[in-house]
Amino acid sequence: MTELKSELLMPAGNLDKLKTAVLYGADAIYLGTPDMSLRTKSEFSLEQIREGIEFAHARGKRIYLTLNLFSHNKDVPKLEEYVETIKELSPDGVIIADPGVFQYVKTHAPDVPLHVSTQANVCSWMSVKFWEDMGADLCVLAREVSFAELTEIREKCPDIKLEAFVHGAMCMTYSGRCLLSNFMSERGANQGNCANSCRWGYKVHLRLKDGTIEELEITEDNRDMFEFLLEEGHRPGDFMPIEESNDAAYILNSKDLCLMPKLDEYLALGVDSLKVEGRGKSVYYVAVVARAYRAAMDDWARDPENFNPKPYMNELMNVSNRGFTLAFHDGRLTNYGHNYEQTQTLGAWEFAGSIIEVDDEAFYLGVKNKLQAGDVMEFLPPDGKETVLLRLYEFDNVADRAGIINKDYPGIKTEVVHAGIKPVIRIPFDLFDKENLDKLKARMPVGTVVRKETLLTEAQWNRVKLDKVAQRLEVSGRTDDPENPLYVRRRNALKKSVAEANKTRKPKVNPKLGLDGCCGRGCNGCLMFWNDPAYAKARDLMASKKQGQMLDKDMREDISTIAAAE
């Protein structure tokens, strides 16, 4: 058996996700408070971080805190309290991007291991050496680093730990250093409040000589009459064609990173930490991805010569994704690295719920999505081995209105369960008539995740099929023919079904634009909140809040009302 030198590093956006990551095989978890960690939707307070660290350490797992925002002057006063707190918490590392923050923590918390964030754009062995000399214990390499570059960095920098992303969302800009969100929606991407402007659809419009603007509708009758050309200022006469479909184009929409097909290379090289992106993703995402990578890494360690990533890739397709790409693994992006037709995240299965209690007679499932009679539940045991399937024809809801289990309550038997009422369904063990109950209960502890099949539209299924074809072509290296017949056939089927679906789709107000896009919550990267006079009262209130504490709902509503009136 080969020694496994790499750790599996999973994200956590709240305490439940942290516990799920631990249960499903993570060696380490990274997390942070919403105001200092590039994730304003993080649900951790400092008190919860304390609880999470104690929980992980009691089980032999490591915790890394994210302090990787690029600081503005308003952030500096928070550092003193934050650093004093983390010294007491004793995390296994603090992830930092800003050189000033790095120096501050190094000076005031010299015993805390310092990790350099991917936001610091570390792409060469020379940069790694610099941070090593500055006192860094680990460098998170930029996503733009190819595997060949990573190999050279490992050879030239043997005395510092290296971390590489292997799975998760990709940013269109250089290591996440995005300004597009700031310009399009006044939300600071480098302070944790990215609006994902790169995922939006963009349309071509025509400005007439009288100043009016019309949408340019391309039809079968006029599509061959013209084409769109782009001329760059320093390359006169070099006209580059621009294509526009009948609907919005997703010109900046990267697929998700997935290096599972190349995981054996990273394990053989001995990369210290293999990182999964997704602090804003669901408990289901954390469970499925951790389970797949944990099983793959352990299988490689048992028999590296015969490692086969296919079953793990099939499993990863069951969690929502934008399609998968190897990104910069080979140095250059391929033409299959983007989704131009659709921006949705899709998966063949969805989160049904998780086991919140087990007694002598039944599992108790906290429901997270609508369930209907006849749905097949798939139980995902944390041991990574075979799943357990069960079809249910009725549901016994034993929760009160607050979602608390009441075993003295006879329950309500229904054929449909809606997640919004916090239901808990009782699943008796006698329904598992083909399972060994002792083994079943041992394999399904509290926290076990359960899923059900997703009902996808024709357009969504066509997207999934196109993604699978593109992924196979990229992994096989057959990327030199952008007009691969199978790929073209799948792409055309998707375009047709998307066009049909859009005929009946109604537009909705986009909350990401304008003053209405600020909820007054106190997000660190919301430029409206920190600069508009309408939020002066809210800014004063935020200054009195504890680290990581946002404004409560009632106060936000009052502030939003005042802002709208002014």
Q: What is the mean pLDDT of residues 351-373?
A: 95
Q: Which pair of structure tokens corresponds to residue 382?
A: 């944390």
When pLDDT is cut at 50, 70 and 90, the band that residue 559 belongs to is low
> How far is it, in rounded angstroms, from Cα 559 to Cα 554?
9
Task: Report the chain's mean pLDDT, rounded to a whole number.
Answer: 85
Q: Which pair of structure tokens corresponds to residue 538?
A: 């809210």
**Orientation of helix 485-502 relative to helix 458-476, angle to 10°:** 150
When pLDDT is cut at 50, 70 and 90, the band that residue 34 belongs to is confident
When pLDDT is cut at 50, 70 and 90, the band that residue 511 belongs to is very low
Is residue 101 classed as helix, strand or coil in its secondary structure?
A: helix
Q: What is the mean pLDDT of residues 541-548?
A: 73
> How far is it, in rounded angstroms, from Cα 494 to Cα 482?
16
Q: Which range is least confidently modeled, 137-141, 190-194, 311-315, 338-342?
A: 190-194
Q: Which range is least confidently modeled, 139-153, 322-336, 550-564?
A: 550-564
> How far is it, in rounded angstroms, from Cα 280 to Cα 209?
46
- What are the φ and ψ backbone dihedral angles of 262, each rounded to 5 degrees? -115, 15
Question: Are the C-beta atoms of residues 42 and 162 closer than 8 Å to each other?
Answer: no
Is residue 506 predicted with pLDDT exceeding 60?
Answer: no
Q: How far apart are the first and last CA of the chain?
A: 68
Name which residue leads in pLDDT, 66 or 182: 66
Beta-carbon contacts of 47 under 8 Å, excluding residues fewer than 6 positions away, are none
When pLDDT is cut at 50, 70 and 90, the band that residue 182 belongs to is low
Residue recorded with tokens 């010299």: 110
Model pLDDT, residue 170: 85
Beta-carbon contacts of 487 under 8 Å, excluding residues fewer than 6 positions away, are 336, 466, 469, 470, 473
Rg (CA), the chain: 25
Is residue 217 predicted with pLDDT exceeding 80?
Answer: no
Residue recorded with tokens 């050496």: 129
Model pLDDT, residue 515: 38
Beta-carbon contacts of 100 under 8 Å, excluding residues fewer than 6 positions away, are 71
Is residue 64 predicted with pLDDT exceeding 90?
Answer: yes
Is residue 554 predicted with pLDDT exceeding 60?
Answer: no
When pLDDT is cut at 50, 70 and 90, the band that residue 501 belongs to is confident
Model pLDDT, residue 513: 41
To the nearest whole percent, how much of the chain has pLDDT over 70? 78
473, 476, 481, 485 alpha-carbon torsion, rounded to 10°: -50
> How far is it, in rounded angstroms, from Cα 380 to Cα 295?
13
Beta-carbon contacts of 42 under 8 Å, excluding residues fewer than 6 positions away, are 13, 14, 31, 32, 33, 34, 192, 279, 280, 548
pLDDT tens by residue, 399-440 = 876 667 877 666 788 999 998 888 999 999 999 988 999 999
Name which residue leads in pLDDT, 520 or 70: 70
Model pLDDT, residue 245: 52
DSSP assigned state of 249: B
Q: What size, in residues, is the chain? A: 566
Is residue 260 predicted with pLDDT exceeding 90?
Answer: yes
Is residue 123 predicted with pLDDT exceeding 70?
Answer: yes
Strand pairing report for 349-358 and 449-453: antiparallel
Domains and CATH numbers, the chain: 7-170+254-316 (3.20.20.70), 193-242 (no CATH), 349-453 (2.40.30.10), 459-500 (no CATH), 515-565 (no CATH)
Model pLDDT, residue 210: 72
Question: Are the C-beta atoms of residues 35 and 62 closer than 8 Å to each other?
Answer: no
> How far is it, in rounded angstroms, from Cα 384 to Cα 274?
18
Strands of 449-534 (E only): list them.
449-453
Is residue 566 predicted with pLDDT exceeding 60?
Answer: no
Model pLDDT, residue 509: 41
- The dihedral region occupied by 331, where left means phi > 0, alpha psi between -120 and 50, and beta the remainder, is left
**Burial category of 57 from C-beta neighbours within 10 Å (exposed 0-12, middle 13-18, buried 19 and up):** middle
> How far is it, in rounded angstroms, from Cα 494 to Cα 485?
14
When pLDDT is cut at 50, 70 and 90, the band that residue 172 belongs to is confident
When pLDDT is cut at 50, 70 and 90, the band that residue 230 belongs to is low
Strands of 287-431 (E only): list them.
324-325, 349-358, 362-367, 371-372, 376-380, 388-391, 395-397, 412-414, 416-417, 424-428
Beta-carbon contacts of 452 under 8 Å, excluding residues fewer than 6 positions away, are 349, 350, 352, 369, 371, 375, 376, 377, 378
Is residue 80 predicted with pLDDT exceeding 80?
Answer: yes
> How far is it, in rounded angstroms, from Cα 62 to Cα 485?
48
